[in-house]
């Protein structure tokens, strides 16, 4: 379908008209829509898995594990908690507001939302956000990625079969279509992608002072720190799994590793073993290994491995025709190298050695750069790790584990600074897609003239004394 400025404008107008009917304010109605979304996801599972294979060569197992299953978990959590989250809050107005005694905070939807989703996890990062929008009581225009065209088409069909366009719809197309959407007046914009594009989204949103949530990968990438006392085999196993997942095209994936030089060689050997054990000697020829989204990303991998050819200690091979590039370890790399100052978003894994006694210097390097979306620490010194995780700035992370923090119910998924703003998952998604409205119920009886003139003379002095009492 071809989209134009006029057709997109009409979609937004229709959704705004539908929102103003008040139908989405009914929490039970929202729950019914979430149930329909879950049922549609289950019914369209095969088509989505086929589309994910077409776009990213994700096997059916990986597609369900990381892209489809998490949406079902997310929707179930929302359905179970929504009535509690949406319930208006009652507050005592306080003596300063006497004779009013009752104040209510309503959790109100923003209205018409725009969801701009990425290519790397096109199902969970589209429908997971849509679930948050629905639970907040909003309508949704979804601008899905043109890079994952097959999945975008599958999502378009799923949503069209499930909801009327005036409530939720998926729009395809490239950056030109995204800009047409951004020129419209939305009430909430949720963007997942790169910091560079996020700046453009914020600029567009500023024209209408639209509330924005951004989930970004981080300008300088996510670090994993491995101390000399870490369980190296366990660490290597988890990192290998994570770097193989979606061929490294994950916003919370490890961009670079800092490993204590005392154990660097041993760790690298363990990491190589785990890669081979999981994906074989040549990952680029393994049909279970996902492909890179475009030839441009493949060419980037070739260019980087060529530039660091003398330091490639594992991998460095690819299958250009299928756009697969093997996990590639580059070692040793300096913290000042350009390679570790940008988000790579691919299977290349730079490794920076450091002296374990000087680990604080690595922490300073991380702190001096843009805040990452994720941080991972591997050590037996949990007390030290707890201190680091409680003092560094990042979106979320793990100690002696990878990525699982985003699967925990009841906690937010979010970034800070160049890794984003706002949060979602579960109740945090409900909060992101609603705004609180405070309403005080006044009284027509027993109103004291405390706030009224005169403010001077005897009456003023009496009023001042009463104010001091009420302040307590």
Evaluate the CA torsion angle 176, 178, 181, 186 in order and state its sign. Answer: negative
Judging by DSSP bridges, how do beta strands 434-441 and 102-109 pair with one another?
antiparallel
CA dist list (Å): 62 to 151, 275, 298, 357, 468: 15, 17, 21, 39, 64
Q: Identify the CA nearest to 70 among candidates 41, 27, 90, 47.
A: 41
DSSP 8-class letter at 403? S
Q: Which residues touch 324 (CB under 8 Å, ≥6 apart)? A: 57, 247, 283, 284, 285, 289, 290, 291, 292, 318
Evaluate the CA torsion angle 278, 284, 286, 290 in order and state its sign. Answer: positive
Q: Which residues touch 338 (CB under 8 Å, ≥6 apart)? A: none
Token output for 408:
């925990």
Query: Alpha-carbon distance 223 to 239, whole Å?
Result: 12
Token output for 194:
């790169």
Token output for 217:
């990968």
Would you please indicate which residues are annotated as catalytic (active-site) residues? 215, 251
């Amino acid at each position: 379908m071809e989209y134009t400025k006029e057709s997109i404008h009409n979609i937004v107008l229709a959704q705004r008209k539908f929102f103003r009917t008040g139908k989405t304010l009914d929490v039970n109605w929202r729950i019914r829509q979430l149930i329909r979304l879950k049922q549609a996801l289950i019914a369209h599972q095969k088509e989505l898995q086929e589309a994910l294979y077409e776009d990213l060569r994700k096997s059916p197992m990986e597609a369900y594990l990381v892209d489809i299953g998490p949406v079902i978990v997310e929707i179930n959590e929302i359905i179970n908690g929504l009535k509690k989250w949406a319930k208006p809050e009652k507050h005592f107005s306080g003596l300063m507001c006497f004779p009013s005694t009752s104040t209510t905070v309503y959790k109100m939807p923003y209205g018409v939302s725009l969801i701009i989703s990425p290519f790397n996890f096109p199902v969970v990062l589209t429908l997971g956000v849509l679930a948050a929008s629905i639970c907040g009581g909003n309508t949704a225009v979804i601008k899905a990625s043109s890079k994952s065209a097959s999945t975008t088409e599958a999502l378009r069909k799923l949503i069209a079969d499930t909801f009327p366009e005036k409530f939720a719809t998926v729009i395809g197309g490239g950056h030109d279509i995204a800009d047409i959407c951004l020129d419209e007046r939305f009430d909430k914009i949720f963007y997942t992608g790169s910091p560079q594009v996020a700046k453009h989204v914020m600029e567009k949103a500023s024209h209408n002072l639209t509330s924005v949530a951004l989930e970004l990968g981080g300008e300088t990438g996510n670090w994993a720190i491995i101390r000399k006392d870490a369980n190296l085999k366990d660490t290597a196993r988890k990192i290998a799994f994570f770097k193989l997942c979606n061929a490294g095209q994950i916003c919370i994936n490890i961009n670079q590793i800092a490993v204590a030089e005392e154990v660097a060689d041993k760790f690298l050997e363990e990491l190589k073993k785990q890669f081979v054990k999981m994906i074989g000697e040549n990952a680029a020829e393994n049909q279970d290994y996902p492909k890179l989204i475009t030839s441009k990303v493949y060419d980037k991998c070739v260019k980087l491995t060529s530039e660091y050819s003398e330091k490639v200690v594992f991998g460095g091979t690819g299958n250009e025709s299928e756009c697969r590039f093997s996990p590639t370890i580059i070692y040793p790399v300096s913290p000042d190298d350009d390679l570790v100052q940008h988000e790579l978003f691919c299977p290349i894994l730079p490794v920076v050695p450091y002296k374990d006694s000087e680990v604080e210097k690595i922490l300073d390097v991380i702190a001096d750069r843009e805040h990452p979306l994720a941080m991972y620490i591997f050590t037996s010194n949990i007390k030290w790790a707890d201190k680091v995780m409680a003092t560094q700035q990042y979106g979320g992370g793990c100690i002696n584990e990878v990525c699982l923090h985003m699967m925990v119910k009841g906690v937010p998924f979010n970034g800070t600074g160049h890794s984003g703003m706002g949060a979602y998952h579960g109740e945090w998604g409900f909060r992101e897609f609603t705004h609180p409205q405070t309403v005080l119920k006044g009284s027509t009886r027993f109103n004291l003239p405390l706030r009224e003139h005169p403010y001077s003379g005897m009456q003023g002095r009496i009023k001042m004394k009463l104010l001091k009492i009420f302040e307590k």
